[in-house]
Structure 1
Amino acid sequence: MNATLLLARSRDFLDRSRGIDFLAPLLLRLFLAPVFFSAGLTKMMAFESTVSWFGNPEWGLGLPFPWSMAFLATSTELIGGLLLLFGLATRLIAIPLMVTMLVAICTVHWQDGWFAIAPSDPSTSMATPLAAVGFPGAEASLANSEEVGNRLTAARGLLREHGNYNWLTEKGSLVVLNNGIEFGATYFIMLLALFFSGAGRFVSLDYWIGRWLDRTPPLTREALLSLEPA
């Protein structure tokens, strides 16, 4: 098989794969919908505490108009989660959801760097190649990883000696929460992809509403004039 034929068949395969291109936005929506709905539900179930956290400058975010900000964040996440699930107004709802992610990144997570879960092994950290090229903050991240590893080793030793270590770790390994921007940035990128791609074909209300609108004949100039008040 020569290179030209191989290239032609590859292009044909890639073109045919567009028939299932709706799977990508569908999976993005199904991933993000419960994330935002559960976040909004958590805020709603403890709304007074959410307002206090938004407004308190000492142990919270110190944002102005905390009740309004908490209400906007809660309602955006609840409604946004439902709209993403059904694929309704997907491109529109992606905008306020991206704004909430930017606010969370800048006000909550920025000072904690990139990682959501602190890596405990510097040799496998993504900061290792960045440190090799002098990327700002990479060396500090590696030092932090080493310290995290030391603390996890100490914690495991204490739990093995004084606690039921097997039971405590049965559902997952011990980690140190870093609380960085990793998850927020990932959700933002996923929402940005949905903003440009839309909800996808077949398995979204946006698609079927669009199909219905395309079949509806446009109003003529005479019909528009007839709608104006005399």
Structure 2
Amino acid sequence: MIKQLYANLFKKLSVADGVPLLLLRLYLAPVMIQAGWNKASSFSSIVDWFGNEDYGLGLPFPLVLAFLATAAELVGGIFLLFGLLTRLVAIPLMVTMLVAIFTVHIDNGWLAIADASSWLADGTILMNDSVMAAPEKLSAAKSLLQTHGNYDWLTSSGSLVVLNNGIEFGATYFVMLLVLFFYGGGRYVSIDYFFRPKLRDNGLR
């Protein structure tokens, strides 16, 4: 009885199994488009940052890599929005996330926002000195702002935080893109579904 009810429910829900993939795409698309647009708007600075060993990443072929990262995010984000070549565009975007994780964020640990009370930074699985110093940084910032700035206005929409710039966002985006790589843009909700009938007939979306 319960097994049959579950089977019937699962069958009905499977009709809308493209909705979660659509939501992933709608979440990721503006993030990627904005990141790509920011790079395109200050492209020469991005190239310089990619290649400079003193204050940048010190990567080889900075012009090529900056162009590829910009194109992957800007064009890939637009394609994700419409579910066009979803699996294909997920690949360079995942590569971009991995490059960002291992060249920019990895030394800062997991957390994107410093939280000294988090078990992700208190030594349970890793120790991050920058995160653990967050309370002192916040205290100093609050003191300066309360003395020299309009503190109530600055905190009217939320409390002050200290950014940690860890891998949290990059890793989260990578996992979301990995889901899209395996499952595609989604049934009924992507251009891929309607313009790739042969793949759809084979059970691919």
Question: Of 153, 177, 201, which aligns to 1:167?
Answer: 153
- The verdict on how the C-alpha distance between 1:126 and 1:17 changes in structure 2, with shifts beyond 3 A counting, is farther
Q: TM-score, normalised to structure 1's length?
A: 0.80
Whether 2:34 is the aligned partner of 1:41: answer no
Q: TM-score, normalised to structure 2's length?
A: 0.89
Name the CA distance, whole Å, in 2 between partners of 1:17 and 1:28: 18
- The verdict on how the C-alpha distance between 1:102 and 1:171 changes in structure 2, with shifts beyond 3 A counting, is same
Whether 2:21 is the aligned partner of 1:25: answer yes
List alignment gaps of at least 5 residues for structure 2: none
Structure 1 counterpart of 2:82: 86
Name the CA distance, whole Å, in 2 between partners of 1:126 and 1:18: 37
- The verdict on how the C-alpha distance between 1:59 and 1:145 changes in structure 2, with shifts beyond 3 A counting, is closer
Question: Of 151, 171, 176, which aligns to 1:185?
Answer: 171
The letter of the residue matching 1:200 is G
List alignment gaps of at least 5 residues for structure 1: 216-230
Question: Of 185, 189, 193, which aligns to 1:203?
Answer: 189
The CA deviation string for residues 116-156 of structure 1, in whole angstroms up to 9 with x for no partner, is: 11114x1xx1338972xxx3x2xx24x65442123213322
- What is the percentage of aligned positions where both structures have the same residue? 54
The letter of the residue matching 2:184 is G
Secondary structure of residue in 1 paired with 2:196: helix
Name the CA distance, whole Å, in 2 between partners of 1:109 and 1:24: 28
Name the CA distance, whole Å, in 2 between partners of 1:130 and 1:108: 21
RMSD: 2.1
Shift of 1:186: 0.5
Whether 2:46 is the aligned partner of 1:66: answer no
Q: Which moved more, 1:106-115 or 1:146-155?
A: 146-155
Instruction: Give the structure with higher Rg (CA).
Output: 1
Structure 2 counterpart of 1:152: 138
Secondary structure of residue in 1 paired with 2:146: helix
2:76–2:93: 8 Å Cα contact kept in structure 1?
yes
The count of corresponding residues between Structure 1 and Structure 2 is 201
The letter of the residue matching 1:118 is A
Secondary structure of residue in 1 paired with 2:133: helix
2:111–2:167: 8 Å Cα contact kept in structure 1?
yes
The letter of the residue matching 2:96 is T
Secondary structure of residue in 1 paired with 2:50: helix
The CA deviation string for residues 175-212 of structure 1, in whole angstroms up to 9 with x for no partner, is: 11111111110010000000000000112110000237
